[in-house]
A and B are shown apart, each in its own frame.
Chain A
Amino acid sequence: MNREVILETQNLNKFFYEPVKFQVLKDITFKVEKGEFVTIIGKSGCGKSTLLYCLSTMDTDYQGELYINSQQTPNMQKDHLAQLRGESIGFVFQFHYLLPEFTCLKNVMIPALKLGKYSPGEIEDRAYEKLKMLGIAEQAQKQASKLSGGQQQRVAIARALINDPAIIMGDEPTGNLDSKNTQIVLEIFEQLSQEFNQSIIAVTHDNNFARASDRTIEMEDGRIISHDKAL
């Protein structure tokens, strides 16, 4: 099966200069296909989160090539990258990063309102849809700060999905969740990649989570040591 490549890196190298010069990423070259659910594992300090933030286009301080949707990103302006992120990438972090003053619905709507592809009315309908898909539609009008941790994380996922991004990136997306909520998030991710053909790249510590993905990349000391680790 030869599917379309959504994200590709070539010889990605990155250095930290403080406190001493140190190479965090060494010749990272890999591809992620459309609809693929990829997890990145490795010990603390192996550079997996650093890699994810380079892929996210938020960290541009590296050498090498990064293509997202066949667009070469390293030469883009910051504003252009912001636009690209809004359109093509959704983020889920260990912490939910919801805006506490807004309702859950509004939190989900904000990235779409920024992108401006749909009218506010349509965006509201779509946000409801996403919340319903994640099973928290009844919490839509509550303040984000008044929800439980698991619910907040699901709102954060809904927010990541609102613009139908080609790629969803997760940095320990289940790191703060109990096993029940972890299972829910995992099922959502599987559904996204299988039914909606969205690619997922998630950094994780959780082997159960990694096992559920299509492919697991293992890193050690800034290098990829396995592109498809069997767990």
Chain B
Amino acid sequence: MKSKVNYEIAFTHILTRKKLTLVAAAGVTIGIALYIFANSIVSGVDSYSKINMFKTIPHLAIHVEDKLSEPLTDSLNGNLVLISNPKIITTKNTINNPYELMGAISTFSFVKNVAPQVNVDLFYNVGKSQMKGTASGIKVEAADAMFDITSTMKAGDLQGLSSDLNGIIVGSGIAKKLNLQLNDNITVISSFGVTKVLKVVGIFSTDNQQVDESKSYINLSTAQQLIQESSSSVTDIYVQLSNPDSSAFYAQQVEKITEYQVDDWQITNADQLAQSKMTGMMTPLISFSIMLVAAFGIYNIINMTISQKMNDIAILKANGFKGKDIITIFLSEAFVMGFVGTFLGVTIGAVMVHLAKGIYVGPPIGYFPIQFDPGIFISGIIFGLVVALGAGYFPARKASKVDPVEIFRR
């Protein structure tokens, strides 16, 4: 009951100067709306590029690491210097007992999918034209579950691969350069010198030119023949995680149960990660500057109110109002400005995001990559209120220190 009168005074001040309140709130509104819009774009673009990236890159890849030869003896106490010539001594780059390892990996709770793959370096030949590239020998079901290859298909059908052992699905870049159409034949020569004639059963297109001009999918068994390995041989095991952002930690877990090299995408794609981190740092900086301007709006208006209300502050203090009561009064005014501004800002921000979502940018992106992220809205609300209270606190504290005698004696 005692402190209610503080709020009563604050609200009366606000209601009798609605325009000023709205001006101060408008600064926060613009700030919060831009904050939400900018961050939603960053978040949308980020997740779009990640989804796109994970159509060709696995979260974790397990493969045989090339080993270097080691000298037979070490340098002897530094007295004798041994010069050796290390060489790669890996003779076999297939994983032993891959299906047992895959079984073990799939028991981890953080693993969503596990898929075997045999990657073959080869040449695509059609007549006299030749292109080099890599064919990925896949198990259709498992690979599709992991990379969603179906969504990248431009012609033909992924299932065509499982029904035709000698089928091949080529990237759109290869198809264009070698003038390939569905059901055309293509000769492939692997780096092991094995030649095979395959039939094009599909054409895919990721939005990555480099991939489209080199990659093709073939059956796992065809790939094994191309590298002259038995039907149980696999060069890579790909793992899809339920939470790819913690891939480094999960990679360590998987490393514990295998002797092979485990690469996580954050290391193999550090450049892309760095880029998304950079934009992630820039947006808060920009939003912070916007909010600073909004904060000055509130600061100015509270400051102005206080200098106009010096008499009121003096008489309130004479009548038993304490310093903290005066702070409460002006801080609540700043809070109301911040609250109104934040509420409008969040609303406008949401409308802007919704409108942007409907903008069709055209292929390959499709609709504008922007997304509703509740985290951004929550942080926007907190940000707006904190900024308003911070901007109100300094003038309010100044008001609490007004010496009433100085006012009465003027």
What distance in Å separates the Cβ of B218 from its nearest Cβ neighbour in chain A? 81
Interface mask (A93-126 → B, CB under 8 Å = 1, otherwise 0): 1010111011000000011011110011000000
Residues of A within 8 A of B13 (CB): 101
Interface mask (B4-16 → A, CB under 8 Å = 1, otherwise 0): 1100110011001
Residues of B within 8 A of A114 (CB): 2, 5, 316, 319-321, 325
Residues of B within 8 A of A39 (CB): none
* A58 close to B405 (CB less than 8 A): yes
* B317 close to A58 (CB less than 8 A): yes
What distance in Å separates the Cβ of A82 from its nearest Cβ neighbour in chain B? 5
Interface-centre pick from B16, B317, B408 (highest chain A CB count, 10 A): B408
CA distance A95 to B404 in the complex (A): 14
Residues of A within 8 A of B314 (CB): 97
Interface mask (A74-85 → B, CB under 8 Å = 1, otherwise 0): 000011001101
Instruction: List 19 A-B pairs, Cβ < 8 Å.
Output: A49-B409, A53-B409, A58-B405, A79-B322, A83-B320, A85-B319, A86-B320, A87-B320, A91-B315, A91-B318, A97-B314, A97-B315, A101-B12, A113-B1, A113-B2, A114-B2, A114-B319, A120-B1, A163-B320
What distance in Å separates the Cβ of A174 from its nearest Cβ neighbour in chain B? 16
Question: In this complex, what residue of B is CB-closest to A90?
Answer: B319
Residues of B within 8 A of A171 (CB): 408
B151 within 8 A of A: no
B312 within 8 A of A: yes
Residues of B within 8 A of A154 (CB): none
Residues of A within 8 A of B4 (CB): 113
* B319 close to A83 (CB less than 8 A): no
CA distance A115 to B322 in the complex (A): 11
Q: Residue B5 contacts which of A56, A97, A110, A159 (CB distance < 8 angstroms)?
A: A110
Interface mask (B27-53 → A, CB under 8 Å = 1, otherwise 0): 000000000000000000000000000
A214 within 8 A of B: no
CA distance A82 to B313 in the complex (A): 13
CA distance A86 to B318 in the complex (A): 8
Residues of B within 8 A of A163 (CB): 320
Given contacts A58-B408, A78-B323, A82-B317, 5 further A-B contacts (CB under 8 A): A58-B318, A82-B321, A98-B315, A111-B319, A113-B8
CA distance A172 to B36 in the complex (A): 58
What distance in Å separates the Cβ of B312 from its nearest Cβ neighbour in chain A? 5
Number of A-B contacts defined by CB within 8 Å: 76
Residues of A within 8 A of B8 (CB): 113
What distance in Å separates the Cβ of B308 from its nearest Cβ neighbour in chain A? 10
Question: In this complex, what residue of B is CB-closest to A86?
Answer: B320
What distance in Å separates the Cβ of A91 from its nearest Cβ neighbour in chain B? 5
* A58 close to B404 (CB less than 8 A): yes
A4 within 8 A of B: no
Residues of A within 8 A of B176 (CB): none
A187 within 8 A of B: no
Q: Residue A93 contacts which of B321, B323, B408 (CB distance < 8 angstroms)?
A: B408
Residues of B within 8 A of A129 (CB): none
Do A102 and B12 contact each other (CB < 8 Å), given the known contacts A58-B405, A93-B408? yes
Which residues on A are within 8 Å of B, measured CB to CB?
A: 49, 53, 56, 58-59, 78-79, 82-83, 85-87, 91, 93, 95, 97-99, 101-102, 110-111, 113-116, 119-120, 159, 163, 171
Question: In this complex, what residue of B is CB-closest to A93?
Answer: B408
Question: In this complex, what residue of A is CB-closest to B320?
Answer: A86
What distance in Å separates the Cβ of B408 from its nearest Cβ neighbour in chain A? 6
CA distance A120 to B5 in the complex (A): 10
Interface-centre pick from A58, A87, A95, A115 (highest chain B CB count, 10 A): A58
Interface mask (B290-330 → A, CB under 8 Å = 1, otherwise 0): 00000000000000000000011011111111111100000
What distance in Å separates the Cβ of B239 from its nearest Cβ neighbour in chain A? 65
CA distance A65 to B319 in the complex (A): 22
Question: In this complex, what residue of A is CB-closest to B1?
Answer: A116
CA distance A91 to B9 in the complex (A): 20
* B318 close to A83 (CB less than 8 A): no
Q: Residue B320 contacts which of A82, A95, A98, A102 (CB distance < 8 angstroms)?
A: A82
CA distance A56 to B323 in the complex (A): 17
Question: In this complex, what residue of B is CB-closest to A111?
Answer: B319
* B409 close to A115 (CB less than 8 A): no
Q: Residue A53 contacts which of B5, B9, B311, B405 (CB distance < 8 angstroms)?
A: B405
Residues of B within 8 A of A58 (CB): 317-318, 403-405, 408
Residues of B within 8 A of A82 (CB): 317, 320-323
Interface-centre pick from B4, B16, B405, B409 (highest chain A CB count, 10 A): B405
Interface-centre pick from A83, A98, A113, A171 (highest chain B CB count, 10 A): A113
Residues of B within 8 A of A85 (CB): 318-320
* B319 close to A110 (CB less than 8 A): yes
Residues of B within 8 A of A56 (CB): 318, 405
Residues of A within 8 A of B9 (CB): 99, 110
Q: Residue B322 contacts which of A53, A83, A93, A97 (CB distance < 8 angstroms)?
A: A83
Interface-centre pick from B2, B316, B322 (highest chain A CB count, 10 A): B322
CA distance A95 to B409 in the complex (A): 11
CA distance A119 to B1 in the complex (A): 8
Residues of A within 8 A of B312 (CB): 97, 99
What distance in Å separates the Cβ of B21 from its nearest Cβ neighbour in chain A? 13
Residues of B within 8 A of A79 (CB): 322-324
Interface-centre pick from B8, B311, B320, B324 (highest chain A CB count, 10 A): B320
What distance in Å separates the Cβ of B111 from its nearest Cβ neighbour in chain A? 62
CA distance A49 to B319 in the complex (A): 18
* B405 close to A59 (CB less than 8 A): yes
CA distance A84 to B2 in the complex (A): 15
What distance in Å separates the Cβ of B332 from its nearest Cβ neighbour in chain A? 15
Interface mask (B47-65 → A, CB under 8 Å = 1, otherwise 0): 0000000000000000000
CA distance A161 to B409 in the complex (A): 22
